Amino acid sequence: MQNKSYKDWKIESTNLDGVFKITPSVFKDFRGQYIETYNKEFMRENNLDIDFLQDDISISKKNVLRGIHGNHDTWKLISCLYGNFQLIVVNNNKDSLEYKKWESFDLSLKNREQIIVPPKFGNGHLVKSDFAIFHYKQNTQYVRESQFTIKWNDPVFNFKWDIAEEPILSERDK
């Protein structure tokens, strides 16, 4: 019998077709924690046979809002390695019945949840802790010219960000 390290993992559908929430198991003892953050066999068994080839990390301070960006070819697996951030995922597939539908997720070091974002969806995140480490795997090489951007405050979407003041934005995201 094979010892499957991911036997206690959970995968859940979300309100967006094709977007999934994954919660890996966490081993805790007197030394701390051990978390397996990715397992190709688990993904394959859940019909998510994605060949990830690039990992990226961004470290941001409180009230930084990055995104909303995406492209038409890239799958992403998003997680929070430290701190806490709000993640918004939006369907930008003009051929979908769910076009412009979005959902918000709270990702943190504490809950260890991960979000699978399919191609043609955009994502953006707002840092809620003093700082946060945003991690994502992707199945394509990053090419900025292939990306779309949706304004964080676009009235068409009416995003509900967990912030009381103006966020800290890059020029691209203003």
pTM of the entire predicted model? 0.94
Residue 158's Cα: distance from chain center in Å? 20
pLDDT at 3: 62
What is the SS3 string spanning 83-103? CEEEEEEEECCCCCCCCCCEE
User: Which one, of 72, 88, 67, 76, lies nearest residue 120 by Cα?
Assistant: 72
Q: Out of 34, 69, 72, 82, which one is annotated catalytic?
A: 69
pLDDT at 2: 59
Query: Facing residues of 60 across strands?
Result: 132
- Using one digit for the tens of pLDDT, what is the confidence trace for 65-98? 998 999 999 999 999 999 999 999 999 999 999 9
- Domain map (residue ranges) of the chain: 10-149
99 among known catalytic residues = no
User: Which CATH number applies to 10-149?
Assistant: 2.60.120.10
pLDDT at 4: 73
Percent of the chain with pLDDT over 70: 98
Three-class SS state of 144:
helix
pLDDT < 50 positions in the chain: 1
**What sections of the chain are H helices per DSSP?**
40-45
Q: Out of 6, 125, 135, 136, which one is annotated catalytic?
A: 136
